[in-house]
A and B are shown apart, each in its own frame.
Chain A
Amino acid sequence: MTVLDTASSGASTRQAPSHSVTFGMTLVDIGGITRRNLLRILRTPRLLVFSSIQPIMFVLLFRYVFAGAIKVPNGLYVDYLMPGIFVQTALFGGASTAVGLAADLQGGMIDRFRSLPMARSAVLAGRTIADLIRNVVVLVLMVAVGVLVGFRFRASPGSDVAGLALVLLFGYAFSWVFVTTGLLVKDPETAQVAGFLPLFPLVFASSAFVPVSTMPGWLQAFANVQPVSVTVDAVRGLLSGGAVEHWLWQSISWGVGIFLVFAILSVRQYRRL
C-alpha cells in the first residue's frame, strides 16, 4: 500500500516504490507460467503426438533407407545415428517456443502479463522451462524408439545420463534463439517458418547423420566447428563410452555462449515490446 511520510508535508514526500518483485516472487511467477504452459501442452495431445512422429520418421528413414549408403568409421550406423537424432529432436522442439510466444503476443496474453506486478523474466523463463520439460518426455520416447531399431547404450550409466543431459541442456540454450525469434516476428505462422531457418544448415551440415569427412572441404571447415556437430560428437562419445576429447568443452562453451547472447537479446526485446 501507499505509505506517506507524515513527518514532513508536501507532495514530494511520496516514499520510494512500495512494491518490488523479490527473488522468491520471481520463482513463484516462473512456476505459475511454467505450469500454465505445461497445461497447454497436455491439453493439445494431438500436437504432441504429431510433433513426435516427425523425428520417428527421421529415425526410420536414416536407419532403413540411407544406412546402407553411409559408412561410419567404427561401430554400427544406428549407434552413430541416434545421438544425432536426439540433438535434432531437442532443437526442433524449440520451434514450439517461438510459435507459443508469438501466439501469446498476438493474443494479448503478454500484455496481460506485462500489466501485472510480476517478474518480467518469468514469462520467458516459464516458457523455456515448460518446453524443456516437454523435451524430456520426447527424448525418452526417442530413446525407446532408438532401442527398438537396435540402438544400445554402451557406456557407464553415469556417462549415458551425462550424454542425455547434454542433449537437453544444449536444447535449452538453443531455445533462447527461438524466444528471440518469436518476440521479433510476433506472429505464430511466421515464427514457425523463421524458427526452422537457422536449424537446417546447423543440423544437416553437421556430423549428426553423416561423417563430416565425406563432405567437400569448404563445408568441412564449417561442419567441424559449428555447435551442433561438436554437441553431437560429444553426446556420441558419452553414450558409446568412446572419447569425447575437446568436443564436450566446445559444446558447453557454445551452449553457454548461445544462452547468454540470446537470453540478453530476448529480454531486451521483451522490455521494448
Chain B
Amino acid sequence: MPETMIEAESITKAFGSTLALRSVDLKVEAGTVLGLLGPNGAGKTTLVRILTTLLKPDSGRATVAGYDVIHDAVTVRAMIGLAGQFAAVDDLLTGRENLELVGLLYHLGSKERKLRADEVLERLSLTDAADRLVKTYSGGMRRRLDLGASLVGHPRILILDEPTTGLDPATRIDLWQFIEALVADGTTLLLTTQYLEEADRLANRIVVIDHGQVIAEGTANELKDQLGGNVLEVTITDQDQLEKAAAVLADLGHGPPSYDRAGGLITLATDGKAEMLLEAARRLEENGIALDDIGLRRPSLDDVFLALTGKPTEDLPGTADTRQRLDPSGVL
C-alpha cells in the first residue's frame, strides 16, 4: 500500500463571514504530484497555509508524513519545503545569504549550509547572481530563489503555491523540467496552479476546488472523460456575427457555448461526432455566416475547468482572456 504523505480530512476555515474552506478532503501519496486547481479566491492558499502549519483550521484534521500539523508542527516543518504564492526572500541580502540563512534555520552545520547553498544556486542557474543583492534580481530570478529556499532542507515533501505565476514561457518550462527532476528523485509534491497546462503536465492527480469545496478530482484524463465527448470549435470570419453564430449552434451542445470575441472563436462541449460537425457547418452556411475554421477536438483541462466552475482559468500571459459565457436564450 502506498504511503500517504499529505492528508487532509474535513478541513474547514472561515475568515469572519467568508467561508474559505468548507470540509475539504485531500490525499497525496508518496512520490506523486497533486495539482490543486482553482480560480482566484477558491481557497488554495488557505489550504496550503494550513498544511504548512501557518494557519490553524477551524475544524478537521491534517497530517503531513503522518504528523499532525497542529500537534507536531515543528516535525512537519522539518519535513516540508514551502514556496508561497509571493516570493519571500530578503531584498537586502544576496541570493547566497538568503539560502544560507534558511540553511541555518534548518540547523544545518556551517559547512553543509555553504555546500547546500552552492548546490541549490547551481541547480536553479543562479550561480552567476549568487552574490548580488536580491533587490537587483528580476521577478523570475526571485521566484527561482524562493523555490531554492524551499529546497535547502532536503525536503521529502514540497508544497508550491502557484510556482510559475508571472514567469515568462521559457522560464516556466525550465521550472517545469526542474520540478519533474525533483519528482523523479522521489519528492512528493503538492502544487497549486491556475494553469491547466501546468497541472496537465506535472500532476498525477488533480483536485479542483472552488468556493472552498472540492468539486472534482481525478487524473487529467478522468476529468476530461467526466466532461464527456468532444469540443466543437468554430472560428468565424466576421466577429459581429459571433452572437448569432453561437445561438445557431447552441442546441448542438450540452451546455451553453463560450466564445472568444477577439479571435472570433466559439467553443461548445458536445456528445456529437462527425454528423454533428456537418450539421453545424450546414446551419452556419444557411445563416450566411462565413467560416475560417471548424473542428472537433478532445476537451482540454481548460474546458473541464470552465464547465466545472463557470469561470475561465487565467490564460498564459500574453493571451488576454476575452472568453465569456453566453446565454443563447438572450441573443435572438
Question: Which residues of A approach B to under 8 Å, CB–CB?
Answer: 2, 14, 17-21, 25, 28-29, 32, 35-36, 39-40, 43-44, 107-109, 111-118, 273
Q: Is B66 part of the contact surface with A, judged by Cβ < 8 Å? A: yes
Contact (Cβ within 8 A) A117 B93 = no
Check B306 for interface membership: any CB of A closer than 8 A. no
B105 within 8 A of A: yes
Chain B contacts with A in 65-121, Cβ cutoff 8 A: 65-67, 71-72, 74-75, 77-78, 80, 82, 84, 86-90, 92-93, 97, 101-102, 104-107
User: Which residue of A17, A28, A39, A43 is within 8 Å of B72 (Cβ)?
Assistant: A17
Pairwise interchain contact A114-B105, C-beta atoms closer than 8 A: no
Lowest 4 CB-CB distances: which A-B pairs, in order? A108-B88, A117-B78, A112-B88, A117-B77
* Contact of A117 with B107 in the complex, beta carbons under 8 Å: yes
A115-B74 in contact (CB<8A) = no
- Does A116 contact B105, Cβ atoms closer than 8 Å? yes
Q: CB of B54 within 8 A of chain A?
A: yes
User: Considering the chains assembled together, what is the distance between the CA atoms of A2 and B65 in angstroms?
Assistant: 9
User: B86 touching A17 by the CB < 8 A rule?
Assistant: no
| B interface residues (Cβ-Cβ under 8 A, vs A) | 49, 52-54, 65-67, 71-72, 74-75, 77-78, 80, 82, 84, 86-90, 92-93, 97, 101-102, 104-107, 133, 149, 153
Contact of A108 with B66 in the complex, beta carbons under 8 Å:
no
Given A17-B75, A109-B88: A43 and B54 interface contact (C-beta under 8 Å): no
Report the Cα distance A206→B152, complex, angstroms: 51
With A112-B82, A115-B52, A117-B105 given, can you name 16 additional A-B contacts, CB distance below 8 Å?
A14-B66, A17-B71, A18-B75, A20-B74, A29-B104, A36-B101, A39-B92, A109-B90, A112-B89, A114-B53, A114-B54, A115-B77, A117-B75, A117-B78, A118-B105, A118-B106
Please state if B97 and A39 are interface contacts (CB–CB under 8 Å): yes
Q: Say which residue of B65, B74, B149 sits within 8 Å of A117 (CB atoms).
A: B74
- Give the contacting residue for B74; candidates A17, A28, A107, A109; CB below 8 A: A17
CB contact under 8 A between A111 and B74, given known A36-B101, A43-B133: no
With A17-B67, A29-B105, A32-B105 already in contact, the answer to whether A39 and B93 are too (CB < 8 A) is yes
Residue of A nearest to B97 (CB): A39
20 A-B pairs with CB atoms under 8 Å apart are A2-B66, A18-B75, A19-B75, A19-B77, A36-B90, A39-B92, A40-B90, A40-B93, A43-B133, A108-B88, A111-B54, A112-B89, A112-B149, A114-B53, A115-B77, A115-B84, A116-B77, A116-B102, A116-B106, A117-B78
Q: A2-B66, A14-B66 are in contact. Are A115 and B82 (CB under 8 A)?
A: yes
Bound-state CA distance A142–B104 (Å) is 35
- Most B CB within 10 A of own CB, among A40, A109, A111, A117: A117
Instruction: Give the Cβ gap from B20 to chain A, nearest Cβ, in Å.
Output: 16
Q: Please indicate the chain B residues that have their CB under 8 angstroms from the CB of A109 in the complex.
A: 88, 90
**Contact, CB under 8 Å: A32 / B101:** yes
CB distance from B144 to the nearest CB of A (A): 15
Across-interface contacts of A35 in B (CB, < 8 A): 101
A19 adjacent to B74 (CB under 8 Å): yes
The CA-CA distance from A114 to B72 in the complex, in Å, is 14
* Bound CA span A40–B201, Å: 40
Are the C-beta atoms of B54 and A25 separated by less than 8 Å?
A: no
CB of B143 to closest CB in A, whole Å: 12
Q: Which residues of B contact A111 (CB under 8 A)?
A: 49, 54, 84, 88
Q: Is the CB of B92 within 8 A of A43?
A: yes
Contact B104 A32 (CB under 8 A): yes
Q: Which residues of A contact B71 (CB under 8 A)?
A: 17
Whole-angstrom CA separation of A117 from B75 in the bound complex? 7
**B84 contact set on A, CB distance < 8 A:** 108, 111-112, 115
Q: Which residues of B contact A116 (CB under 8 A)?
A: 77, 102, 105-106, 153
Nearest to A113 among chain B residues (CB) is B105
Chain A residues whose CB sits within 8 angstroms of the CB of B86 once the complex forms: 107-108
Min CB–CB distance A27 → chain B (angstroms) = 11
* Min CB gap A213→B, angstroms: 47
Residue of A nearest to B80 (CB): A115
Shortest distance in angstroms between B65's beta carbon and chain A's nearest beta carbon? Answer: 6
Distance A25 CA – B74 CA, assembled complex (angstroms):
13
From residue B119, how far is it (CB to closest CB) to chain A in Å? 18
B87 to A, closest residue via Cβ? A108
* A-side contacts of B66, CB under 8 Å: 2, 14
Complex: A116 Cα to B53 Cα, angstroms: 10
Q: Which of B71, B90, B93 has the most CB of A within 10 A?
A: B90
Identify the closest chain A residue to B55 (Cβ): A273
Known contacts being A109-B88, A111-B54, A112-B88, is A25 close to B97, with CB within 8 Å? no
Minimum CB distance partner of B83 in chain A: A112
Question: How many angstroms between the C-alpha atoms of A108 and B54 in the bound complex?
Answer: 11
Q: Which of B52, B66, B80, B88 has the most CB of A within 10 A?
A: B88
| Interchain CB contact under 8 A, B87 and A19 | no
| A115/B54 in contact, CB under 8 A | yes
Contact of A36 among B49, B88, B93 (CB under 8 A): B93
Alpha-carbon distance A112/B80, docked complex (angstroms) = 12
Complex-state Cα separation, A191 to B102, whole angstroms = 27
| Contact present for A107 and B75 (CB under 8 Å) | no
Residues of B within 8 A of A32 (CB): 101, 104-105
Is A115's CB under 8 angstroms from B53's CB?
A: yes
Q: How far is the CA of A40 from the CA of B92 in the complex (A)?
A: 6
Q: CA–CA, A14 to B149, complex, Å?
A: 29
Once the chains are docked, how many angstroms separate the CA of A36 from the CA of B93?
8
Flag if B104 contacts A28 (CB, 8 Å).
Answer: yes
Residues of B within 8 A of A18 (CB): 75
